[in-house]
Amino acid sequence: MSGVDEEVDYEALTGALLTLAVESWRFGRAGERVLMKLDEGEQRRHQRQLRWFQKKLEETLTEIGIRIVSLEGHAFDPGMAATPLNLEEFDGDDALVVDQMLEPVVMGPTGVVRAGTVTLKKADQ
């Protein structure tokens, strides 16, 4: 986009922003796993940087009415805004909880903008 007269494709811009938000969330999660492998002093220093990044991401998204939601640990409900990847591994009468978020749910001012992706486990595990 080089000229002032060019129209902005807001739908593409919104899609790119949502993708960036989800990928930033994933990167933060990966960063948390890496931090666990560091010694305590290094861990604390880098945790502060990661928390600052995550806080800025959340604040920026909040400014435009977007919120990233993790469902980890919540009881699974077939109506929740997330696609379970391993539902077929369980019986219909198993009580299930969300074990891991692979992609978060993205909420906007009017509701779900992008559904998440999860893995499940039995509630008693």
Q: pTM for the full model? A: 0.80
What fold is seen in the domain 10-122?
Answer: Nucleotide Exchange Factor Grpe; Chain A, domain 2 (2.30.22)
Please give the torsion angle defined by the CA atoms of residues 80, 87, 19 and 17, in that order, rounded to the nearest 10 degrees.
0
pLDDT of 125 reads: 57
The Cα 65–Cα 59 span in angstroms is 10
Mind listing the pLDDT tens digit for each residue in 16-29?
999 999 999 999 99
Residue 6 pLDDT greater than 80, yes or no: no
pLDDT of 2 reads: 55
Order of strands, sheet of 105-108, starting from the edge strand that comes earlier in the sequence: 67-69, 105-108, 111-114
- Annotated domain spans of the chain: 10-122
Residue 1 pLDDT greater than 70, yes or no: no
Residue 13 pLDDT greater than 70, yes or no: yes
Other CB atoms within 10 Å distance of the CB of residue 82: 25
Mind listing the pLDDT tens digit for each residue in 52-79?
999 999 999 999 999 999 999 999 999 9
